[in-house]
Amino acid sequence: MTQHRAVFLDRDGVINVDRGYVHKVEDFRFVPGSDDAMRRLQAAAWRLVVVTNQSGLARGLYSKADYDRFTAHLQNQLAAVGVTVDAVLHCPHLPDATVAAYRLQCDCRKPAPGMLLRAARDLGLDLAASVMVGDRLSDIEAGRAAGVGHNVLVRSGHAPEPGDAERAADAVYDNLAAFAEAWLSQSAHAVSPPRDGPPIDAAGRR
């Protein structure tokens, strides 16, 4: 069976502006250029998979209905620019969750790789040929644990932990648009540094 390459995307801070436990449709805003970046990646035959930790559910800050409403709005806004996301996966769990239904030591909350592995099984993805794009160290660690070939950090969301996230990443860009521009303008081998090499910054410098 043919396996597909994918770009795994964290949600808040990568696709939409991270306002902290964002869940209201009226608070939705794309990170500038992220919608067009996703359109370009999809046009280049990359599957698009959103993998997002949603601990606000476990904390009781919003409901599953709120999450579903926000997700539908995100998908509708992307559809308006010609983007269809192949899957949106979320983890609602915390070991000490306020909401008992979500009180769980799970294998899906990043940095655990469960969401990525599930998507790979369901969609027939080649993890080694795929990319993880996130704004936190936990995103990079989840990609590594899942066997994703290229793990990229963007600076558009959560402020990276000093040094740690950037050292762990294969490359670092200002945002998803900058990543897509670099990734699509060169071959994957040209854009990505060796696995044991230093990260590349937004200008392509090591």
pLDDT in tens, 142-176: 999 999 999 999 999 876 555 788 899 999 999 99
pLDDT band at 186 (very low <50, low <70, confident <90, very high): confident
Q: Per the omega criterion (within 30 degrees of 0), is the bond before 113 cis? A: no
Domains plus CATH for the chain? 1-128 (3.40.50.1000), 151-171+178-206 (no CATH)
Whether the CB-CB separation of 154 and 175 falls below 8 Å is answered with: yes
Q: How far apart are CA 117 and CA 177, in angstroms?
A: 25
pLDDT of 160 reads 57
Whether the CB-CB separation of 91 and 54 falls below 8 Å is answered with: yes
pLDDT of 156 reads 94
User: What b-and-e string marks burial along 64-96, b requiring 16 or more CB atoms within 10 Å of the CB?
Assistant: eebbeebbeebeebbeeeebebbbbbbbbbbee
Whether pLDDT at 8 is above 60: yes
Share of the chain above pLDDT 90, in %: 84
pLDDT of 157 reads 87
pLDDT of 161 reads 59
The alpha carbon of 33 is separated from its chain's Cα centroid by a whole number of angstroms, namely: 15
Q: What is the mean pLDDT of residues 10-29?
A: 97
Q: How far apart are CA 152 and CA 9, in angstroms?
A: 10
What pLDDT, in 10s, does the model give residues 55-64?
999 999 999 9
Q: How far apart are CA 141 and CA 4, in angstroms?
A: 22
What pLDDT, in 10s, does the model give residues 69-93?
999 999 999 999 999 999 999 999 9
Higher pLDDT, 191 or 65: 65
pLDDT of 204 reads 38
What pLDDT, in 10s, does the model give residues 102-134?
999 999 999 999 999 999 999 999 999 999 999
